[in-house]
Amino acid sequence: MGLLSLSGCSAVRLAYNNAPDFGYWWLDGYFDFDGPQSLRLREDLKALQAWHRKDELPQLAETLKNLHTAAPQDVTPAQVCQLSHFLEERVQTTLDRAAPTAIALGPTLSTTQLDHLARALDKRNREWREEWLDGTPAERTERRMKKLVERAEGFYGRLNEAQLKLLQSQLDDSAFDASLQYREVLRRQQDTLQTLRALRNSSPSDIHVQAEVRALVARSLQSPDPAFRQYTERVREQACQAIATFHNRTSGPQRQRLQDTLKGYEGDARALMRP
């Protein structure tokens, strides 16, 4: 995490400035775009970045400023959840901005490209199962604990024994259910494939196409399954409580480390506002 607060061309700045290229290659791995599709996508990703730099980064920078100012103080679960909702709104806004690209490209995808997408998703699913579902319950918990500690230490520095025990107890009490998450992953993937196959050879200017793509994005962000929505809200509330409890048990030096890290993020965001 130290790289994130370095002056000059930090890891965050390098990644952001190259986001259109990274985004293109990531998406191309799923769809294997042809020439015209690639040209349209590259141009749209550049335009999306320009919009994000101008409209979204100032909001993010201000939020980071508020966060590092508040870092030395205790926090409440409500404050943590407020931040979570804010970040979700930013993702929603960005996806809404990108919707015209999906509307333009979706109907042009060939059967071969959609079959390529299905195979790429199958590969991703195998990797997901290896990370979250494979092994004994103890092995899965150990993997999750390792990630949790790495994330916490990235912000706060080395944790003491009491803090490690706290994280372990929070993990043991967590409502997170990998099998439920995986079922939702599969639902979203099948929803995407079915929608794109149904829209093949349609006109991007067709109101029906536009409505279907936007509805697909909405279903991807919020499941149509009421039980899963209740589950995710329960997990969110539990996470907000856990994060607040953990932060409130950190030391002065650890909070200073958090503050310095968040200041580094703010500096990155403000530097990136200038193309």
DSSP 3-state assignment of 238? helix
Q: Provide the pLDDT confidence category of residue 9 given band limits of 50, 70 and 90.
A: low
Predicted local confidence at residue 8, as pLDDT: 43
* pLDDT at residue 81 is higher than 60: yes
Q: Provide the pLDDT confidence category of residue 84 given band limits of 50, 70 and 90.
A: very high
16-50 pLDDT, tens per residue?
999 999 999 999 999 999 999 999 999 999 999 99
Which secondary structure element, helix H or strand E, spans residue 245, and what is its range?
helix 226-248
- Model confidence, pTM: 0.91
Query: Which amino acid makes up residue 221?
Result: L
Domain ranges of the chain: 2-272
Predicted local confidence at residue 234, as pLDDT: 97
166-203 pLDDT, tens per residue?
999 999 999 999 999 999 999 999 999 999 999 998 88
Which distant-in-sequence residues (6+ apart) come within 8 Å of 175 by Cβ?
A: 231, 234, 235, 238
